[in-house]
Structure 1
Amino acid sequence: MGIHMDDNIHAPTVASGPSSTGEPARDPAKLSMVDLMQEKQRIEEELSALSEVLGSHGVHMSTSLTTFDGFPRDDIDVAQIRTIRAKIIKLRYDHKEVMKHLETGVHAHFANLQRAQEPTSTINNTNGSVGASNSTTESSSSDTGMLSPPFAKVNSVAAGSPADQAGLRLGDTIRSFGSVNWINHERLSKVAELVQQNEGRTLIVKVSRQNEAGSLAELNLELVPRRDWGGRGLLGCHLVLL
């Protein structure tokens, strides 16, 4: 995960993690949305702690643990690192399962909101002429009902930067950044990872912006990360968590 800290390889955080206590695994299918969010956070915190331990020893998940001639390296604790890697693999699987159920729950929640709005639209439309506007109302409800909650805010935008050229503005709130949203942004680390992996490629950024009338406008912006714009970074903007 690219996290490098100064924890010792034998730091007690490894042994004291929730997955190391013998506590039975929680079945994501039986958890509420609140419990799923808590489980997601717990897993991410433990993954972060384990990754910090690997990083402190100068290794990551794909670092070779053997010498060029196939013997275990004697400059690292190979057994400990293998144990940590196994825990990380298990936690990543658990995280994927939690995310699957969490996303299913979110979609079901928004679908219920949309269905709850439809009867009102039907009651208010009592003749054919108003019925024409009914499809517009339902379309609008569908568009807004499926919007993800914002998770970040644009804190600054450099003039002439990729973010500026895409149309990002100070104060915009981010609902999704490519495939990253409020569920999986992991304290914005996934945004940075996505940007690094997509230099020169177009990313769709969904933002909310308050207009002069005080209402929110929903925009889909095309942002192309690049480093040749004359400033620092690939975006030229700064995001902060909401």
Structure 2
Amino acid sequence: MVGTDLKAETMKLMEKRTAVEAEMDAIIERLARPGGPGLSGNLVDSEGFPRTDIDIPVVRAERRRLSGDAVTASESSRNVIQRDAPSDMDVDVIVSRPFAVVDEIADGSPAAEDGLQLGDQIVKFGNVESGDNLLQRLSSEAQASQGHALTLVAMRQGELINLTVTPRTWQGRGLLGCHFRIL
């Protein structure tokens, strides 16, 4: 009986998560349009005035929605699993929790060429999986791997994917040409 309830509740949460991810994808697409503000771009012009080409309250609301929904959907699923999971290591459950999201990728950059996409949630970047000083550790990992393939695990549209990226110099900034926002 408990198994049936758990399955039904899990299925309901999975449907909700799918709907939330579809909405998140739509928001990312709107924010990442050419000339748009992006997931973390400036909302003011070069002189410090609010940009007139975007609706700033809407952009802020969509950015908040992105950060809140991602955490809420993941936490709800995790809570059901943890609450009803058998104890004493009866089941080996591995929960991959993203620690960063790709919120900018430059065209023609190593990250773009190697398959990284806007909105990918980073679960593992080389040897970096979680902890403190993540931006510094991500940067150090990229520098240490310059010119060498680096394994990256990301969550893309609810699925874990494995990518290989090679940090390298190119015409733009950094070794990857992308920006990570810590979650």
TM-score, normalised to structure 2, is 0.49
More helix by share: 1
TM-score, normalised to structure 1, is 0.37
